[in-house]
């Protein structure tokens, strides 16, 4: 007799006990609650031939998106493929999608997980891995539409519906549909408050809209649902620190950084990215971060900066520049250049299009060559989504560009950039500070006085 998972999908196991553990592991993974790997391993102990158990692990390891996890990914893909003869079509499609990830073809992986989702709209595992793949590809539209494609097949009676709404909320947010994103996120949480991804989606809305106090309250009041025993908590802590940074509360930012964003020398690239990004934001503001760069740079030297994923390498470069490690910075740039020249695969495209110019710009910025940094960043910023990440994360490119323009004495560019930022987020105290600096650069320039008053007026209207 064929067994079916909790959403009615046929699975190739005869062990109900293994299947129960699988369903439990999927639910944990949907919320990034630990320890989904331990639970799926229990399923595989019950039935070592449980193919979806191996596909689950392959999907998790793939979306870590770092070279250090490649051996685990390969083991899981090969273990699943060894069971291919007894697997059903959906399970074989999972194997093919994970293999595409393993072989570095993220576009193909996204397409294959996407096809599973179209044929089996209640395959929430394929949906979640596809959603994460879209994130790494910077595919804003598909972050929304891959989820939208399945919505007619879900309702409150299907287990996991809240998580689907949470994914939809994030996709809507990445398409600047903030009202709809917040509505979807709040609906997700009304169904299931233990959904850190939905909480995160609404935190993004508040970040993009400059709703700083609401954002702090949003995350603080929901800590019980996202902060403990969660593989994603470091990133929601990062968002909380980002609100405090917007207010200029750098002591609080550093306290959150030490206690939560980087409480131990963990070496997962996903965590290192947030550590680098927060320290770089502080660095741009001239805040003394003590010896924190050293620890982060050590971890990047051990684990990445290897040309595997340009987004990671750009964040490694920040740490090397921040810590004054010229040799490591040169090696990271060389790794990106080598990746760019490989020609094939998603990593090569990302390195060529974004990784190399961003790394060169960061290196130039660190050496005080602000003109070169600004030239490179201005050119790359409109295509920077191609190396993945969220709008909030990639804002670091624009922040570095503004700072390079100001420090490099390029008043027209600096003033143009702060006008952009003010238009997008007029209530931002950080944007007001940048505006004051940019306008102050060219007091003798025709029209600068008017520009300053217009920009400050915009800020004041919203602030009031």
- Judged by the rule CB under 5 A, the positions of this chain that interact with Fe ion are 390
Find out whether the peptide bond into 132 is cis, omega within 30 degrees of 0: no
Question: Which residues contact residue 407 at a Cβ distance below 8 angstroms, ignoring those fewer than 6 apart?
Answer: 368, 370
d(CA 35, CA 42): 11
354 secondary structure, DSSP code: I
Do residues 87 and 116 make contact, with C-beta atoms less than 8 angstroms apart? Answer: no
By C-beta, is 242 or 362 nearer to Fe ion?
242
Nearer to Fe ion, 121 or 196 (CB): 196
Contacts 24+ apart (CB under 8 A), 109-114: 109/62, 109/133, 110/134, 110/137, 110/139, 110/142, 114/142, 114/146
Task: Provide, rounded to whole angstroms, the least separation between the CB of residue 29 and Fe ion.
Answer: 18
Find the shortest distance in angstroms from Cβ 12 to Fe ion: 36
Shortest distance in whole angstroms from residue 205 CB to Fe ion: 11
For residues 239 and 325, which CB has a smaller minimum distance to Fe ion in the complex? Answer: 239
Q: Which is nearer to Fe ion, 154 or 197 (CB)?
A: 197
- Rounded Cα distance, 98 and 76, in Å: 9
State which residue, 390 or 431, has the beta carbon closest to Fe ion. Answer: 390
Taking the least distance from each CB to Fe ion, the nearer of 192 and 390 is 390
DSSP3 helix / strand / coil % (the chain, rounded to 5): 75, 0, 25
Query: Rounded to the nearest whole angstrom, what is the least distance from the CB of residue 389 to Fe ion in the complex?
Result: 9
**Least separation in angstroms between CB 33 and Fe ion:** 18
Q: How far is the CB of 131 from Fe ion (least distance, A)?
A: 13
Residue number with the smallest Cβ distance to Fe ion: 390
**Residue 120 CB, nearest approach to Fe ion (Å):** 28
CA-based max dimension of the chain: 83
Provide the minimum distance between the beta carbon of 202 and Fe ion in the complex, in angstroms, as a whole number: 11
The CB-of-463 to Fe ion minimum distance in angstroms stands at: 25
Closest contact distance (angstroms) between CB of 390 and Fe ion is 5
CA nearest to 150, candidates 120, 182, 107:
120
Residue closer to Fe ion by CB (options 154, 170) is 170
Smallest distance, Å, CB 439 to Fe ion?
31
Nearest CA-CA partner of 197 in 162, 228, 229:
162
Q: CB-based contacts of 27: which residues, under 8 Å, 6+ apart?
A: 159, 160
d(CA 431, CA 181): 24
Residue closer to Fe ion by CB (options 31, 366) is 31
Report the alpha-carbon distance of residue 282 to residue 443 in Å, rounded.
Answer: 27
Which pair of structure tokens corresponds to residue 462? 């919203």
**d(Cα 391, Cα 401) in Å, to the nearest integer?**
15
Q: How far is the CB of 434 from Fe ion (least distance, A)?
A: 22
Q: Which is nearer to Fe ion, 116 or 240 (CB)?
A: 240
Residue closest to 61 by CA, chosen among 53, 48, 70, 52: 70
Closer Cβ to Fe ion, 76 or 390, answer by number: 390
How far apart CA 59 and CA 130 sit, in angstroms, is: 9
Count other Cβ atoms within 10 Å, centred on residue 62.
27
**Residue closest to 117 by CA, chosen among 71, 157, 167, 72:** 167
Q: Which is nearer to Fe ion, 63 or 390 (CB)?
A: 390
90 vs 123: CA distance, rounded Å: 9
Nearer to Fe ion, 199 or 380 (CB): 199
CA–CA dist 148, 426 (Å, integer): 31
């Amino acid at each position: 007799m064929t067994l079916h998972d909790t959403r009615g999908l046929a699975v190739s196991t005869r062990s109900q006990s293994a299947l129960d553990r699988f369903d439990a592991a999927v639910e944990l993974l949907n919320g990034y609650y630990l320890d989904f790997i331990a639970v799926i391993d229990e399923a595989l102990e019950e039935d070592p031939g449980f193919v979806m158990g191996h596909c689950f692990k392959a999907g998790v390891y793939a979306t870590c998106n770092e070279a250090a996890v490649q051996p685990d990914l390969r083991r899981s893909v090969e273990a699943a493929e060894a069971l291919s003869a007894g697997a059903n079509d959906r399970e074989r499609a999972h194997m093919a999608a994970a293999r595409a990830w393993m072989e570095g073809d993220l576009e193909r992986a996204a397409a294959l997980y996407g096809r599973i989702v179209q044929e089996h709209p209640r395959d929430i595992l394929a949906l979640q891995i596809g959603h994460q793949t879209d994130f790494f590809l910077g595919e804003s539209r598909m972050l929304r539409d891959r989820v939208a494609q399945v919505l007619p097949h879900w309702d409150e009676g299907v287990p996991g519906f809240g998580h689907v709404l949470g994914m939809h909320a994030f996709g809507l947010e990445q398409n600047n549909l903030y009202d709809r994103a917040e509505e979807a996120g709040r609906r997700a949480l009304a169904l299931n408050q233990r959904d850190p991804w939905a909480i995160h989606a609404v935190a993004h809305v508040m970040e993009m809209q400059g709703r700083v106090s609401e954002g702090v309250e949003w995350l603080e009041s929901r800590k019980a649902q996202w902060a403990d025993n969660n593989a994603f908590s470091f990133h929601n802590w990062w968002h909380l620190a980002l609100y405090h940074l917007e207010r200029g509360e750098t002591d609080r930012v550093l306290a959150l950084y030490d206690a939560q964003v980087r409480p131990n020398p963990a070496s997962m690239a996903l965590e290192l990215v947030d550590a680098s990004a927060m320290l770089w934001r502080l660095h741009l503001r001239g805040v003394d971060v003590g010896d924190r760069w050293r620890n982060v740079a050590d971890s990047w030297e051990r684990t990445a900066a290897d040309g595997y994923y340009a987004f990671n390498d750009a964040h490694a470069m920040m740490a090397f520049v921040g810590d004054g490690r010229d040799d490591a910075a040169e090696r990271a740039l060389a790794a990106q250049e080598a990746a760019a020249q490989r020609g094939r695969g998603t990593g090569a495209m990302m390195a060529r299009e974004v990784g190399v110019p961003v790394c060169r710009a960061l290196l130039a910025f660190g050496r005080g060559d602000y003109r070169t940094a600004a030239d490179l960043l201005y050119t790359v910023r409109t295509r920077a989504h191609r190396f993945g990440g969220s709008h909030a994360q990639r804002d670091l490119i624009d922040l570095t560009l503004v700072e390079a323009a100001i420090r490099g004495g390029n008043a027209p560019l600096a003033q143009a950039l702060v006008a952009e930022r003010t238009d997008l987020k007029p209530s931002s105290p950080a944007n007001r500070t940048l505006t004051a600096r940019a306008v102050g650069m060219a007091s003798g320039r025709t029209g600068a006085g008017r520009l300053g008053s217009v920009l400050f007026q915009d800020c004041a209207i919203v602030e009031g």
